[in-house]
A and B are shown apart, each in its own frame.
Chain A
Amino acid sequence: QLQLQESGPGLVTPSETLSLTCSVSGGSIGNSFFYWGWVRQSPGKGLEWLGVINYSGVAFYNPSLSTRVTISVDSSKNEFSLNLNSVTAADTAVYYCARPPWELRPAAAFDIWGQGTLVTVSS
């Protein structure tokens, strides 16, 4: 059974870089053609699609964040990562990693989610 687990600092200083990793178990990033994604949810607000990446490193980003966000993949470690630079309090949110039900499609729904990790941006 595929499982995703986010990890990373729960507190980030304004103007610094938020870095999170999603570890995949029960399945292999490298043996599939899924686009693995990041979604965030600000306190009391809706969900926001941040971007996705496939096993070979092809990534797609939300244009609203594209100048600040980078998603990378390490198939040997079976994990993918999110970097968001120049953070402000507006980036405080629960960050989820997720995987869609279908391969080959960057824009998709997600049926497998990590538990989410709260990242607070504060000095």
Chain B
Amino acid sequence: EIVLTQSPGTLSLSPGERATLSCRASQSVSNRYLAWYQQKPGQAPRLLIYGASSRATGIPDRFSGSGSGTDFTLTISRLEPEDFAVYCCQQYGSSPPTFGGGTKVEIK
């Protein structure tokens, strides 16, 4: 199965700053089938990005995804207070789908 490694483990930033999160796959993710989720304590994950760069319904355009092959990035252009959370990537190009360990974006 494909192992996804996310970095950094924790990102300490201030509101208004730019966040850049990385997701690296142990093998190439076919068709750029890579998703990003946001998860807050006690809540289910929320789909942000699918297909590496397509925003899910209702997701603000400050969230963007990029990448292909084994290297993918989630960028939050300007952090809003509600964006401080854990972010997780998932590949669904190969079975079984697998998730990364997550990056926590915390307030500096």
Contact = CB atoms under 8 A, between A and B. Distances in A.
B47 A46 contact: no
Contacts, number: 58
B97 A108 contact: yes
A10 B100 CA distance: 26
B35 to A, nearest CB: 4
A109 interface: yes
Interface residues of B, number: 24
Interface string A13-31: 0000000000000000000
Contacts of B100: 46
Contacts of B47: 101, 109-111
A46 B50 contact: no
Interface residues of A, number: 24
Interface of A: 45-49, 60-64, 96, 98, 101, 105-111, 113-116
Interface of B: 1, 33, 35, 43-47, 50, 56-57, 88, 90, 92-102
